[in-house]
Copies of this chain bind each other. A is one copy, B any other.
Amino acid sequence: MKKIMNAPDAFVAESLEGLVRAHEGLVTFGAGRTFIRRRDLAPGKVAVISGGGAGHEPLHSGFVGRGMLDAACTGHVFTSPTPDQIVAAMDETDTGAGCLLVVKNYDGDVMNFEMAAEMAASRHAIDTVIVEDDAATGPSLRSRGRRGIAGTVVVEKILGAAAEQGSNLAALKTLGDDLNRRIRSMGVALRGTTVPENARETFSLGPDEMEIGVGIHGEPGLERTRFAGANEIIRLLGERILAEFPSDVAEGGTARPLLIVNGFGGTPPIELYLAQGIAHRFFENHGVVPARTLTGTFVTSLDMAGLSITLALLDEVQFKLWCAPVATPCLSW
């Protein structure tokens, strides 16, 4: 295992330190360095707070700033942050309008954010949006529903923009739950990764294999198949994505589709843009014309090779919120 790292137990802290130093105008450490927060809070705005295991950077810490998150709590690699971290973030960033917690749907994350919400319930108005966009994991397969993967960026961006524009906690909760029905993602891995703490490979693929429907913690995918060309990979992901929208969303018109090609950490821009072009054409051929795209490395699994496709079938209001100005370390326009 070769990583740009000093020691495994300093890996996450040293990376967060670098992020804060590089973007001091936008973010700072919160109390006890247990979370990263927006430097200049906006009084009276709902605090949008997220977090999760490390290893998915720039999610979530790179998305703290104006128009997106107010705080991000980071755990060890692929390990939920503790309830204490989340409570500390709420205590420091709630300026009176309450806290919206954005949580990827994994048992550990859901449990710790729930526990934090209980612990802080007497001091803060709190609501929670659970992100469930992974088309590879249906509600029928897992009691807790779909996993949250790269669609989380869309949920955090749109909720952050709405909060910035003054939406209250109830409106944000409604918006977040609606977004969950409108976003589907699916990933493919060409190579696994190695977790620093235990130096163990998450999974191992042969030279002719790929893992379709893979998660972002090295979870098994939907199936391991023979490695294929880009057209075939995009077809596999795209067909499943289209099939997994609720029927009213799929049939209700595709006002403003947003298409994201997200690299998992080990896949370079030349491959991501190739996938973007093919995915764009694929969805167009299926009657879904992307109104906006995003291509890059946003939700990673350390340095896993591969990518995910996210399609968000936004309504006009949601699309405008996506396009609204944002100023964070790793997403800005």
User: In this assembly, does A273 line the interface, its C-beta being within 8 Å of a C-beta of chain B?
Assistant: yes
Asked if A307 and B4 make an inter-chain contact with CB atoms under 8 angstroms apart, the answer reads yes
Across the interface, A277 reaches (CB within 8 A) one of B21, B233, B268, B300, namely: B21
Counting every copy of the chain, the complex holds 2
Across the interface, A278 reaches (CB within 8 A) one of B18, B270, B277, namely: B18
Across the interface, A269 reaches (CB within 8 A) one of B210, B230, B231, B265, namely: B265
Across the interface, A303 reaches (CB within 8 A) one of B7, B57, B267, namely: B267
Query: Which residue of chain B has the shortest Cβ distance to A17 in the bound complex?
Result: B277
Given contacts A18-B295, A22-B276, A274-B14, contact A57 B269 (CB under 8 A): yes
Asked if A275 and B4 make an inter-chain contact with CB atoms under 8 angstroms apart, the answer reads yes
User: In this assembly, does A302 line the interface, its C-beta being within 8 Å of a C-beta of chain B?
Assistant: yes
Q: What sequence of 0s and 1s flags, for each residue 281-308 of chain A, a beta carbon within 8 Å of any chain B beta carbon?
A: 0000000000001011100101101010
Asked if A295 and B2 make an inter-chain contact with CB atoms under 8 angstroms apart, the answer reads no
Residues of B within 8 A of A257 (CB): none
Asked if B330 and A293 make an inter-chain contact with CB atoms under 8 angstroms apart, the answer reads no
User: In this assembly, does A153 line the interface, its C-beta being within 8 Å of a C-beta of chain B?
Assistant: no
Asked if A277 and B15 make an inter-chain contact with CB atoms under 8 angstroms apart, the answer reads yes
User: In this assembly, does A201 line the interface, its C-beta being within 8 Å of a C-beta of chain B?
Assistant: no
Query: Which residue of chain B has the shortest Cβ distance to A207 in the bound complex?
Result: B2
Asked if B4 and A233 make an inter-chain contact with CB atoms under 8 angstroms apart, the answer reads yes
A22, A55, A191, A275, most chain B CB atoms within 10 A = A22
Residues of B within 8 A of A12 (CB): 270
Q: What sequence of 0s and 1s flags, for each residue 245-280 of chain A, a beta carbon within 8 Å of any chain B beta carbon?
A: 000000000000000000001111111111111101
Given contacts A274-B18, A300-B268, contact A229 B2 (CB under 8 A): no
Query: What DSSP secondary structure best describes chain A's contact surface?
Result: mixed
User: In this assembly, does A175 line the interface, its C-beta being within 8 Å of a C-beta of chain B?
Assistant: no
A150 CB to nearest B CB, Å: 14
Given contacts A275-B18, A332-B333, contact A265 B265 (CB under 8 A): no
A72 CB to nearest B CB, Å: 13
User: In this assembly, does A123 line the interface, its C-beta being within 8 Å of a C-beta of chain B?
Assistant: no
Across the interface, A62 reaches (CB within 8 A) one of B54, B229, B265, B269, namely: B269
User: In this assembly, does A190 line the interface, its C-beta being within 8 Å of a C-beta of chain B?
Assistant: yes
Residues of B within 8 A of A106 (CB): none
12 A–B contact pairs at CB < 8 A?
Answer: A4-B271, A12-B270, A14-B277, A18-B273, A18-B274, A22-B280, A22-B295, A57-B268, A266-B305, A268-B302, A270-B302, A332-B333
Which A-B residue pairs are the 4 nearest by beta carbons? A18-B277, A265-B268, A18-B273, A4-B271
